[in-house]
Chains A and B, each alone.
Chain A
Amino acid sequence: MDLELTDIQQELGATVARLLKDKYDASAREAILAGELGYSEEIWQQFAELGLTSLTIPEEFGGAGMGFGEVAVVMEEFGKALVLEPYVPTVILGAGLVEALGTDAQKEEILPAVAEGAKKLAFAGYEPLARYELASPSTTFADGVLNGEKVSVWGGDAADTFIVSANNDGVLSLFLVDAAAAGVTVDPRRQADGLGSAAVLFENAPATPLGAGDPSAALEYVIDTANAALAAEAVGAMESALAMTADYLKTREQFGVAIGTFQSLQFRASECYALLEDARSMALYAKLAIVQDPDGTSKERHRDVLAAKLVIDSSSRHIMQESIQLHGGIGMTMEYPIGHYAKRLTVIPRTFDEQGTVNQELADLGGLVEPAAADL
Chain B
Amino acid sequence: MDNLLNKEELEFAEHMREFYRTEIPEDIRYRQAIGSEEGTHDDVVATQRILNKHGYAVPNWSVASGGQDWTPVQRHIWLNEMQLACVPQPLAFNASMVGPVIDTFGSQEIKDRFLPATANIDIWWSQGFSEPNAGSDLASLKTSAVKQGDKYIVNGQKTWTTLGQYGDWIFTLVRTDPNVKKQAGISFLLIDMKSPGLTVRPIQLIDGGHEVNEVFFDNVEVPVENLVGEENKGWTYAKFLLGNERTGIARVGESQVKLARAKAYAAATKTAKGSLLNDPAFSARITTIEAELKALEFTQLRILSTQVAGADKPDPRSSILKLRGSRLQQDITELLTDIVGPQGLDFVDSREVRTKFTTLPHGAADALKTYFNYRKVSIYGGSSEVQLGIISKALLGL
Contacts and interface: CB of A to CB of B under 8 A. Distances in A.
Interface stretch (A84-92, A274-282, A341-349): A274-282
Interface residues of A, number: 48
Interface stretch (B47-55, B233-241, B387-395): B387-395
A367 B295 contact: no
A278 B295 contact: yes
B260 A375 contact: no
B391 A270 contact: yes
Contact of A367 (B30, B286, B385, B396): B286
A375 B362 contact: yes
Interface in B340-398: 362, 385, 387-389, 391-392, 395-398
Contact of B298 (A271, A285, A362): A285
A280 B395 CA distance: 15
B277 A362 contact: no
Contacts of B309: 4
Contact of B362 (A307, A308, A310, A376): A376
Contacts of B324: 274, 278
Interface string B278-310: 001001101110111111111101101110110
Interface string B315-356: 001001001100000000000000000000000000000000
A342 to B, nearest CB: 19
Interface of B (DSSP majority class): helix
A266 interface: yes
Interface residues of B, number: 61
A250 B396 CA distance: 10
A204 to B, nearest CB: 42
Contacts of A359: 283-284, 287-288
Interface in A54-106: none
Contacts of A285: 294-295, 298
A267 B388 contact: yes
B162 to A, nearest CB: 25
A2 B385 contact: no
Contacts of B302: 3, 280-281, 284
B33 interface: yes
Interface in A296-332: 307-308, 310-311
B304 A1 contact: yes
In this complex, which of B73, B268, B287, B299 has the most chain A Cβ atoms within 10 angstroms of its Cβ? B287
A267 to B, nearest CB: 5
Interface of B: 3-6, 9, 29-30, 33-34, 73, 86, 256-257, 259-261, 263-268, 277, 280, 283-284, 286-288, 290-299, 301-302, 304-306, 308-309, 317, 320, 323-324, 362, 385, 387-389, 391-392, 395-398
List of 3 A-B pairs having minimum Cβ-Cβ separation, nearest first: A281-B298, A363-B283, A374-B33
Interface of A: 1-4, 242, 246, 249-250, 260-261, 263, 265-267, 269-271, 273-274, 277-282, 284-285, 288, 292, 307-308, 310-311, 356, 359-360, 362-363, 367-376
Given A269-B392, A270-B395, 9 more contacts: A1-B73, A3-B4, A3-B302, A250-B398, A267-B392, A270-B391, A310-B287, A359-B284, A369-B290
